[in-house]
Amino acid sequence: ETFVFLHLETVGYSRKNLGLTVASSTTLGIFISMFSTSVLDLVGWRSGLALALGSYGIRFLGYSLISPDSLTMLMILECLKSIGNPWCMLVTGYFIKNHMEMAHIASFQSMFSTLYFGIGKGLGGIMGAAVIGYLGSVVTFQALSF
């Protein structure tokens, strides 16, 4: 997310506009979270994960093509954030709840949190900075969208 905001600032968006997008995507995320179990019961965890990863692809491609005068497009792309990261977390919790024995749920949640927050965020930040430094943000977002 840090790299997205840095990129959008270089495109020409103000911090006020970026703050507005965070507020709207967070509000939408609350409603998505409220209905997540019902939706996942209906479509299944595989479809939920595909939806989350697909939203990342659309967002990254959109960020690479966005122009500074397209606040509407920025709002749409940022609202897709509510489907991406939080939805991945919800799908993971749903999967663990439905596929693990009760005695092992805490261990799997801890393992997921360690992998996501520790290794994923730490290594992702370092690698993301290196790749963006080498290729630039536009090419990096286009590559990650596929």
- pLDDT tens digits, 118-139: 888 788 888 888 988 999 888 8
pLDDT more than 70, % of the chain: 99
- Contact between 82 and 121 under an 8 Å Cβ cutoff? The reply is no
- Contact between 132 and 140 under an 8 Å Cβ cutoff? The reply is yes
Q: Token pair for residue 90?
A: 């919800």
**pLDDT at residue 1 greater than cutoff 80:** no
- Dump pLDDT digits (tens) for 39-68: 889 999 899 999 989 998 999 899 989 988
Q: What is the pTM of this model?
A: 0.77
Q: What span, in angstroms and rounded, lies between the C-alpha atoms of 18 and 78?
A: 9
- Dump pLDDT digits (tens) for 58-105: 998 999 899 888 889 999 998 888 888 888 888 888 888 888 888 888
Q: What is the DSSP letter of 115?
A: I
**How many other β-carbons are positioned within 10 Å of the β-carbon of residue 64?**
19
**How many other β-carbons are positioned within 10 Å of the β-carbon of residue 58?**
15
